[in-house]
Structure 1
Amino acid sequence: MVEVLLAIGIIASIFVGFNIGGSSTGIAWGPPVGAGIVIKTTAAGLMTFFVFLGGWTVGRNVMDTLSGGIITTELTLSAGVAVLFFIGLGILAANIFGVPVPTSMTTVGAIAGLGLATDSLNYATVTEILSYWIVTPFVGFWIGGIIGRYIYPKVNQRVQIEKSDGPLLTIHRTGAVPKPTFGPNTTWSELSGTAVVLILGCYMAFSAGASNVPNAAAPLVGGVGGVKPNVAILIATLAIGVGGFTIARRTMESVGSELSNIPLLAALFVMFTASTITTLLSWIGIPISLVLATVMTIVGIGWGRATRPVTVREAITRDTGDPTIVSGAITAEGIEGKSAAPIGGDEPEEMVDAGDLFNPRAIIKYLSMWIIGPSISTILAYGFFLFIPGVA
Structure 2
Amino acid sequence: MVETVLIVGVIASLFVGFNIGGSSTGIAWGPAVGAGLLKKTTAAGLMTVFVFLGGWTVGRNVMDTLSGDIITIEISLAAGVAVLFFIGLGILIANVFGVPVPTSMTTVGAIAGLGLATGTVNYETIAWILSWWIVTPIIGFWIGAFIGRYIYPELNRRVGIENSPGPLLTFDRSGGLPTPALGPNTTYRELVSTIVVLIVGCYMAFSAGASNVPNAVAPLVSSGALEPNPAILIATVAIGLGGFTIARRTMESVGGELSDIPLLAALIVMVTASTITTVLSSMGIPISLVMGSVMTIVGLGWGRATRPVTVREAVAGEAGEAEIAMGALTTEETAGAEPRPIGEAERSEVLDARDLFNPGAIIKYISMWIIGPTMSTALAYGFFVLVPGIA
Q: TM-score, normalised by structure 1?
A: 0.93
Which of 160-169 and 233-242 deviates more? 160-169
| Distance of 2:267 and 2:219 partners within structure 1 | 34
Secondary structure of the 1:171 match is strand
Q: Distance in 2 between matches of 1:38 and 1:326?
A: 34
The aligned counterpart of 1:14 is: 14
Q: Which amino acid aligns with 1:77?
A: L
1:202-234 CA-partner distances (Å, limit 9, x unpaired)? 00110111111011121111235x111100000
SS at match of 1:181: strand
> Which residue of the partner structure matches residue 267 of structure 2?
268
Give the distance between the partners of 1:165 and 1:8, measured in 2 at CA: 49
Q: Distance in 2 between matches of 1:96 and 1:248?
A: 16
Residue 17 of structure 1 contacts residue 216 of structure 1 at CA under 8 Å; is this kept in 2?
Answer: yes
Change (3 A) 1:264 1:384: same
Q: Displacement of 1:349 after TM fit?
A: 7.4
TM-aligned CA deviation for residue 146 of structure 1: 0.4
Q: CA deviation at 1:280?
A: 0.6
Report % sequence identity.
Answer: 73
Question: Amino acid of the residue matched to residue 276 of structure 2?
Answer: I
Is the 2:52–2:236 Cα contact (8 Å) retained in structure 1?
Answer: yes
Aligned partner of 1:140 in structure 2 is 140
Distance 1:46 1:96 in 2: 28
Conserved 8 A contact 1:98-1:250: no
Answering whether residue 382 of structure 2 is matched by residue 383 of structure 1, we say yes
- Alignment CA distance shift 1:15-1:190 (3 Å): same
Residue 281 (1) aligns with residue 280 (2): yes
- Could you tell me which amino acid in structure 1 is paired with residue 368 of structure 2? M
Q: Does 1:88 align with 2:88?
A: yes
Shift in Å, 1:294: 0.8
Measured after TM superposition, the shift of residue 92 of structure 1 is 2.3
Name the count of aligned residue pairs. 385
Q: Secondary structure at the match of 2:356?
A: coil
The residue correspondences of 1:92-131 to structure 2 (distance < 5 A) are 92-131=92-131
Which residue of structure 1 aligns with residue 345 of structure 2? 347
Q: Which residue of 2 aligns with 1:57?
A: 57
Per-residue deviation, 1:356: 2.7
Q: Give the counterpart letter for 1:148 in structure 2.
A: G
**Residue aligning to 2:216:** 216
Question: 1: CA distance between counterparts of 2:57 and 2:361?
Answer: 34
Aligned partner of residue 180 in structure 1, secondary structure: strand
Residues 344 and 102 from structure 1, CA distance in 2 versus in 1: closer, same or farther, beyond 3 angstroms? farther
CA contact (8 A) 1:325 1:350 kept: no
Where structure 1 has 5 or more consecutive residues not aligned to the other structure, the ranges are 335-340
Counterpart-to-counterpart distance in 1, 2:230 and 2:287: 23
After superposition, residues 196-207 of structure 1 pair within 5 angstroms as 196-207=196-207
Contact 2:301-2:356 within 8 A present in 1 as well = no
| Equivalent position SS for 2:177 | coil
Question: For the residues of structure 2 that align with 1:344 and 1:285, how far apart are their CA atoms?
Answer: 42
Query: Is the contact between residue 145 and residue 305 of structure 1 (CA under 8 Å) also seen in structure 2?
Result: yes
CA distance, structure 1, for counterparts of residue 122 and residue 45 of structure 2: 38
**Alignment partners' CA distance in 1, 2:129 and 2:139:** 15
Scaled by the length of structure 2, the TM-score of the pair is: 0.93
CA root-mean-square deviation? 1.9
Q: Which runs of 4+ in 1 moved over 6 A?
A: none
User: SS at the partner of 1:127?
Assistant: helix
CA distance in 1, matches of 2:304, 2:22: 31
Distance 1:97 1:34 in 2: 23
TM superposition shift of 1:331:
4.3
Q: Deviations over 1:61-114 (max 9, x none)?
A: 110100011111112221111111110111122234443111100100111111
CA distance in 2, matches of 1:22, 1:344: 40
Q: Deviation of residue 348 (structure 1)?
A: 3.7
Give the Cα separation in 1 of the matches to 2:388 and 2:322.
57
3-state DSSP of counterpart to 2:180:
strand
Give the AA of the match of 1:111.
Answer: I
**Aligned partners of 1:8, 1:244: CA distance in 2, in Å?**
22
Provide closer, same or farther for how the CA distance between residues 99 and 251 of structure 1 changes in structure 2, counting only shifts above 3 A: farther
CA distance in 2, matches of 1:19, 1:250: 13
Aligned residue type for 2:222: G
Letter in 2 for 1:216: A
Matched, 1:301 2:261: no
CA distance in 1, matches of 2:120, 2:353: 49
Distance in 2 separating the partners of 1:321 and 1:102: 38
